[in-house]
Amino acid sequence: MTGADRDAAGTGVAAPAVSFARVSKAFGGVRALSDVSFEVLPGEVHCIAGENGSGKSTLIKIITGVYQPDPGAEMSYFGRRVDSVTPAVARGLGINVIWQDLALFPQMTVAENIAFGDILGSRPRLVHRRQMRAKAERVLDRLGVSLDLDARLNTLSIAERQIVAICRTLVGDARLVFMDEPTASLTHSETQSLLAIVRKLSADGVSIVFVSHRLAEVLAISSRVTVLRDGRKVGVYDTEGMTQSRLTELMTGKTFDAEVISGDRSAERAVLEVSGLCRAGEYEDIDLTIRAGEVVGLTGLIGAGRTELGLSLFGMTRPERGAVRLNGEPVSFRSNRDAIAAGVAYVSEDRLTLGLVQPQSIADNVVLPVLGKIVNGLDLISTGKKNDLVSRWIRELNVKVGRPEDPVSTLSGGNQQRIVLAKWLATEPKLLILDSPTVGVDVGARAGLFAIVRQLAAEGLAILLISDEVPEVYFNADRIIHMAGGRFIASYDPRALSLAAVEKAVYA
């Protein structure tokens, strides 16, 4: 430990990894942060919690030198007071960020991605592949994981790519790592593996700042949590004894009461009827009925086949045998266009790349699947029809937008997901498939989304809710189907079983 790592009194106690006070930041007339203080201790797993727009990303970007704070801020790194910092200086201090998009190179190998920054250096030079592989092997050994160093990144799972991103920070002798929504696209078992790696890094003295909308993970992995709301610090709290409901209240200033809403829909007409559906290697012998106004929750661990089944019901893949009936009529989809025409809508778990066209406007995203409905007699898009349709769904789903002409990328995660819903509801579906609809959506926005789901069901829409988060299906579905190894293995009634009992069965 160097002198810079000890406190000013020379007691030998390690100084905080970062210590910030009176941090404010305004963009034009919008104040993103107001007089925020923040501290992370050596080897600590610390969480920053808050809704989208609370200032989490702005604070991280100030600490890592992307933004400069407004005058008056006091900043200290590993015991050293600094007046300003750049991204290069922050990296030199051992501060790294793993953003949600990971910022890796899909066509490069695992070894190349891990050692990229360290091998490239500050000026061009020849690449020593043996040295590069040795560095990659050492850092993988440090984490106790094994990956094929020659595999191209685009062949890896999301969980494996997360490991590569973590390894890349460790090559540069990371001392403080920010993880932005690291588990947003991971299954339960993948998440547990990642959290084990975080604990190992913490034990090795690396400070971790964990940002996640999954509050159960926040409480499981961190020792303290800093809560931000509307750009201000609400407080710093020990996670021991903290509950999800209390943390939600601190983040939002509101109380959300979770209650079972399931009901018996067996008397309603069948909208979707599936019998003996099979697709080799993905799912087999699937029998499923969803009735008008019913929300069926589908949950299970990695490899269960949930998304694969959803994709077949939406016409993206074709089952090898079995039958599907929609409103009593047999259907066989050759493509998703057939499914849309028949009245099936599908909200993908990958909102950023599959759900929305990020550079395009909010309005263009809403009307994308229904262009045929808004043309005039000359087969040109009618501005009036387009504006009426967009305004209707923005109003009905209470989407918070500036202007419909703004890029959809300017919206928060929760409002982006509402636009995805608007896009598919504009097709007037009979069956709505929601595949992990709250990925990357904060807790307040989640409650709003599920309120919309319940309203849609009350209006008679049949809904298949796919999620690996058991509480989501437990509190928002009429019945729960447990899928494993491509098969339906059990069905649960939330009115008859506790959440703990369902979680124990699913996570066993």
Helices (H), 172-305: 188-203, 215-221, 244-252
Above 70 in pLDDT, residue 51? Answer: yes
Whether the predicted pLDDT of 140 surpasses 80: yes
H-run or E-run covering 16: none
pLDDT at 254: 76
Residue reference for tokens 């009176």: 22
Domains and CATH numbers, the chain: 15-252 (3.40.50.300), 270-343+429-507 (3.40.50.300), 358-427 (no CATH)
Among 154, 140, 149, CA closest to 104: 154
pLDDT tens per residue, range 327-338: 999 999 999 999
For 73-97, what is the mean pLDDT? 92
Task: Tell me: pLDDT of 4 over 70.
Answer: no
Query: Contact 306/466 with Cβ under 8 angstroms?
Result: yes
pLDDT score at 2? 41
> Are 367 and 377 a contacting pair, CB within 8 Å?
no
- Asked whether the predicted pLDDT for residue 408 surpasses 80, the reply is yes
pLDDT digit string, tens, across residues 432-489: 999 988 876 767 778 888 889 999 999 999 999 998 888 889 999 999 999 999 999 9
pTM: 0.68
Interval 221-246 mean pLDDT: 92
What pLDDT shows up at residue 193?
Answer: 86
Question: Which pLDDT tens digit goes with each residue over 366-375?
Answer: 998 888 888 8
Residue pair 64/242 in contact (Cβ under 8 Å)? The answer is: no
Place of tokens 């790194």: 77
Contact between 5 and 15 under an 8 Å Cβ cutoff? The reply is yes
Query: Over 70: is that where the pLDDT of 179 sits?
Result: yes
